[in-house]
Amino acid sequence: MTASNNDIAGLPAGQAADLVAGLGWDSCTLGPFSAWPAALQTAVRMMLASPFPMFIAWGADMPYLYNDACIPIVADKHPMAFGRPFREVWPEAWDELSPWLHQAMQGKASFHENMEVVLERNGAPASGWFTFAYSPLYDDAGQPGGVLSVAMEGTASVLAGKWQRVRQALDDHIRDLADPSEIGMAAASLLGEHLGCQDCFFAEIEQCEEYASVASSWTAGDGERRSGRHSIADLKGGGGLVVPLLKGGVAHVLVCGSRMSVGDWSDDDTAISREIGERAWAAIGKARAEEAVREAARELRLLTDALPVLIAHVDDDRCYRFNNRAYEDWFGHPREDIPGKHLAEVLGEEAYAELRPTIDRALAGERISIEQTVPFRSGGMRHVITEYVPRLNAAGTVIGYYSLVQDISERKRAEEHRLLLINELNHRVRNTLAVVQSLASQSFRPDMPLDVGRKAFEGRLRTLGAAHNLLTSENWDGATLQSVAREALAACADPARFNLSGPEIRLPPQTAVSFALALHELCTNALKYGALSVAGGLVSMEWSTSASSGPDSRLRFQWRELGGPPVTVPERRGFGSRLLETGLAAELRGQVTMDFSPDGLVCTIDAPLPAGK
Amino acid sequence: MIKGKHILVVEDEPLVAMLLEDMLTDMGAHVAGPECGFEAAMARAEADSLDAAVLDVNLSGQKSFAVADILRKRGIPYAFATGYGRSGLEPGHENVPVLVKPYTAADVEQTLTELLG
């Protein structure tokens, strides 16, 4: 105990004791200490010596006397409050406390646990929680003359408890929420109800730092919710609570609230707003990040599913982590069957054993591009090109690989087909050259003048060319007998002198060429010696098929010359006869007969119906 | 050497067959055929009395290698005549002489001389 700087014997040192010593008639209805009843002096001495918060109110006006331990409760009203009537010191609490004070003045004590009393301290009304007892003090005559209050303020722990409940409620609300706006709403409504707000909302500050956009808004009852952008200056000047949340020292969100009655906001209001706001925004940030991850995964799936490449991500335990639709389709597994499965389960033990050396290399960190022929599940083999891309973590350790498989079977087939076509083209050209060589050999005979041979060769070459043209126009599928005949005849005689009749019959390509060349020979012979060598001569070509269709069906064709000069059997068998009777007959596997009857040449073909397409 | 020899001609293109027939006739050979179908060629390869043969590889889409197998069994030498060249030959026939179309009478004479020699 330090030495007292007052001169009243027996008063302990301290601020309150000094205030007691300084009291006089001008400042207190009790007058100076020396004028006080002995009982009051004793009680005050005892109170000043106590380290427990106490006050004494004595007499009709109940002047307010307290000890040093009580100063934190009196707060900014100290020291002006000392010695002044209780009612003047605490007008805001008078209605609530005066009944208990009066009761004690009449000799009856009372005890109050955690009573909430609204006090105006530090410039704003705020709830305080007190556990206290009011006891009567007796005067020198043994009658109740005053009140002794022994009080303990529990505001801090009560508030801490209330905060804890709000925090807990927030955590409970948002634990299962994944939607950022639902988290915001839960926090705004909890905070709004806790603060007794009319409305409460979060606004995100835009980059320009002049405007903020309302993210989540709550209102008591069914009032209109806040929305849209607001100038930050307007929000701050609106009389409501505006608490900025900082990130990296810069405000990024404003927690805003407003009450019906315009009033001050306590430090506690600000603190709990910041606390709830920060908790909510931590959860919102996490939810947004998770949503971004889900969105990225959705995008990845959309993209990879659209690709005609088999994509899989396999981890270093050789289990699937990801695969796209093409991968499922290839293996015929539903999506849910692949992730988490071991390679051997999806590929099959045999295929896995075969691929294992390559997979080992990929998991050793090697990037591999490999072309393989692999069996396909529905049979047959497929050509594939596989890229193995090792997946590394930030430390550079291999933690799996991506495999990208491209089915190039179609391309391979097309390549093979192209080679086949080139080969086939080469073959056909060489064959055609041999045919031309034969035509030349048949045309330029040693016993024939050169110009006659050349004319014959040109006519035959032109017919060969026309037949090829016809076949090319039909994509080398073959040609009809009708069109082959027309082409061959048009090249050397007036079509009006021919009468063609017969059903549509398709000839295979090589037969069509032979037929065209044979008809050409008949035509040139008719022009030189037969019906077409005189005016009025005609040629009739008629053909039919036997009634029965199928492999036994036969083609009957007849060339008949009419109105020509009398026919004599030629002395020598020419190229035309040979081509018809031997060549065409062998090709058709039938009989060809040349009847040199005096009325006109008749050439008859009887053969199995050619199998044209 | 070729004169008087019996040569089988298998060729599905009548004009080419006619050409080869003329070439061989001019050399004094006796031509068996020409045959343009597979079955007729098989029949001749099995039954005819032959000294050598010239076989077109492709007979309207059917290969003549079975005909060649019969000739080999009988010890009758043969050559292939083809527009595909040597690449079109099946395994087992790689060492058979090939007349690549179009060929000249001199090509035919040289090839047959080798076969008959």
pLDDT tens, residue by residue, A431-473: 899 999 999 999 998 888 989 899 999 999 999 998 888 888 8
| Element (DSSP H or E) covering residue A520 | helix A509-528
User: Among A302, A303, A346, A291, which residue's Cα sits nearest to residue A321?
Assistant: A346
Domain A15-153 architecture: 2-Layer Sandwich (3.30)
∠A488-A491-A493 over CA atoms, to 5°?
100
CA gyration radius for chain A?
Answer: 58
Nearest chain A CA: its distance from B83 CA (Å): 4
Indicate yes or no: CB of A427 within 8 angstroms of CB of B58: yes
Q: pLDDT category, A262, cuts 50, 70, 90? A: low
Buried b (16+ CB within 10 A) or exposed e, B91-111: eebeebbbbebbbeeebbbeb
Tell me the average pLDDT of chain A.
Answer: 88
Which chain A residue has the Cα nearest residue B57?
A427
* ipTM at complex level: 0.91
Closest residue to A427, CB basis, from B14, B17, B83 = B83
Q: Torsion-angle region of residue A111: left (phi > 0), alpha (psi -120 to 50) or beta?
A: beta
Q: pLDDT category, A597, cuts 50, 70, 90? A: confident
Rounded to a whole number of angstroms, the distance between the first and last alpha carbons of chain B is 8
Assess contact for A111 and A149: CB atoms under 8 A: no
Closest residue to A423, CB basis, from B18, B19, B84 = B84
User: Among A112, A114, A27, which residue's Cα sits nearest to residue A64?
Assistant: A27
Distance (Å, whole) CA A272 – CA A391:
46
Is domain A309-405 classified as CATH 3.30.450.20? yes
β-partners of residue B9 are B54
Q: pLDDT category, A292, cuts 50, 70, 90? A: very high
Q: Torsion-angle region of residue A589: left (phi > 0), alpha (psi -120 to 50) or beta?
A: left
Mutation site for A-interface testing, chosen from B13, B15, B19, B62 by largest number of A Cβ within 10 Å:
B15
Position A6 pLDDT exceeds 80: no
Phi then psi for residue B91, to 5 deg, are -55, 140
Residues of A contacting chain B (CB within 8 angstroms): 423, 426-431, 433-439, 441-442, 508, 510, 514, 517, 578-579, 582-584, 586-587, 589
| Per-residue pLDDT reduced to its tens digit, B29-69 | 999 888 888 988 999 999 889 999 999 988 887 889 999 99
Q: pLDDT category, A612, cuts 50, 70, 90? A: low
Report the percentage of chain A scoring pLDDT > 90. 44
| Per-residue pLDDT reduced to its tens digit, A538-549 | 999 999 988 666
The arithmetic mean of pLDDT across residues A54-75, rounded, is 93
Nearest chain B CA: its distance from A403 CA (Å): 39
Question: Who's near B53: CB < 8 A, 6+ residues apart?
Answer: B7, B8, B9, B10, B45, B67, B71, B76, B77, B78, B79
Position A10 pLDDT exceeds 80: no
Structure confidence at residue A360 (pLDDT) = 95
Two structure tokens written together for A141: 């005559």
Q: What is the pTM of this model?
A: 0.56
Assess contact for A155 and A128: CB atoms under 8 A: yes
Position A613 pLDDT exceeds 70: no
Greater pLDDT, A571 or A535? A535
CATH code that applies to domain A178-184+194-291: 3.30.450.40
Assess contact for B45 and B52: CB atoms under 8 A: no
Distance (Å, whole) CA A27 – CA A489:
147
Domain A448-608 architecture: 2-Layer Sandwich (3.30)
Question: Who's near A14: CB < 8 A, 6+ residues apart?
Answer: A48, A67, A68
The arithmetic mean of pLDDT across residues A133-146, rounded, is 93
Position A7 pLDDT exceeds 70: no
All domains in chain B, ordered by first residue: 6-116 (3.40.50.2300)
| Per-residue pLDDT reduced to its tens digit, A187-196 | 999 999 888 8
Indicate yes or no: CB of B16 within 8 angstroms of CB of A431: yes
Indicate yes or no: CB of B35 within 8 angstroms of CB of A586: yes
| Per-residue pLDDT reduced to its tens digit, A212-248 | 988 888 988 877 788 888 888 888 877 788 999 988 8
Most trustworthy range by pLDDT among A468-477, A488-497, A516-525: A516-525
Distance (Å, whole) CA A21 – CA A388:
93
Two structure tokens written together for A378: 């529905």
3-state secondary structure of A586: helix
Position A103 pLDDT exceeds 50: yes
Position A81 pLDDT exceeds 70: yes
Indicate yes or no: CB of A442 within 8 angstroms of CB of B18: yes
The arithmetic mean of pLDDT across residues A532-558, rounded, is 86
Two structure tokens written together for A596: 């040199």
